[in-house]
Amino acid sequence: MSASKSEKKPSDGSADLALDTDLGWAIRMVSTAFRRVATESVAELPGGARGYLVLVALAGGEPPTQLALAREVSLDRTVMTYLLDDLEAHQLVTRRPDPRDRRARQVLITDTGRSRLDQVRQSLAAAEARLLTDLDAQDSAQLRTLLSRVAQTAQREAVTPDEADAANC
């Protein structure tokens, strides 16, 4: 006799151990699928996904320093330097001395960079729509909001104690 879903679930918690209810499994499946569709969308940008994140970070607000930008997108500062060199060679970003600290360099997105970012965002939006096809607009917006909040928590948790102490000084 086979068990049906309407039968009483075990009280030992084993019913909560289904793969499709495991957060780690869900994150891995979504991450893998997103990486696959997003990689195609950003493939033409120098640095691929990393280049895309840098352009998105630069598209709004004050121009950050290279170091602040590296922290914001969670990239090693050496990797950031090479990535910015590549983006600058393609005229997508430019760097200038920071007026508040001439030792630091601010990073700015160029008009060409904004145009390329708009093109990539359209392609990426279509890829995201395919991935989120089973969600209505409200669910999709809620998912984005919740994931953003979790990502911000994860980013805070990634800060080392030394960096946190330095930031609080």
- φ/ψ of residue 134, rounded to 5: -85, 0
Q: Is residue 12 part of a domain?
A: no
Q: Is residue 59 part of a domain?
A: yes
- 99 in helix, strand or coil? coil
Domain that holds residue 104: 43-159
The pairs formed by 98-106 with CB atoms below 8 angstroms and a separation of 24 or more are: 98/65, 101/65, 104/65, 104/66, 104/67, 105/65, 105/66, 106/63, 106/64, 106/65, 106/66
Q: Is residue 150 part of a domain?
A: yes
pLDDT of residue 12: 55
Rg (CA), the chain: 21
- Global pTM? 0.74
pLDDT of residue 88: 97
Other Cβ atoms closer than 10 A to 96: 10
pLDDT of residue 15: 56
Q: Is residue 13 part of a domain?
A: no
Domain tally, the chain: 1
- φ/ψ of residue 85, rounded to 5: -55, -45
**Would the CA dihedral through 52, 119, 128, 41 be positive or negative?**
negative
pLDDT of residue 95: 95
Q: Is residue 129 part of a domain?
A: yes
Nearest 10 degrees: Cα torsion 88, 32, 126, 93: -10
Q: Is residue 69 part of a domain?
A: yes
CATH number at 89 reads 1.10.10.10
- What is the mean pLDDT of each successive set of 10 residues along the chain, which is 169 residues long? 45 63 89 89 92 94 91 92 97 94 92 96 91 94 93 79 47
Other Cβ atoms closer than 10 A to 52: 21
Q: Is residue 164 part of a domain?
A: no
Q: Is residue 64 part of a domain?
A: yes
The CA-atom distances, in angstroms, between 127 and each of 27, 40, 42, 72 are 18, 9, 11, 24
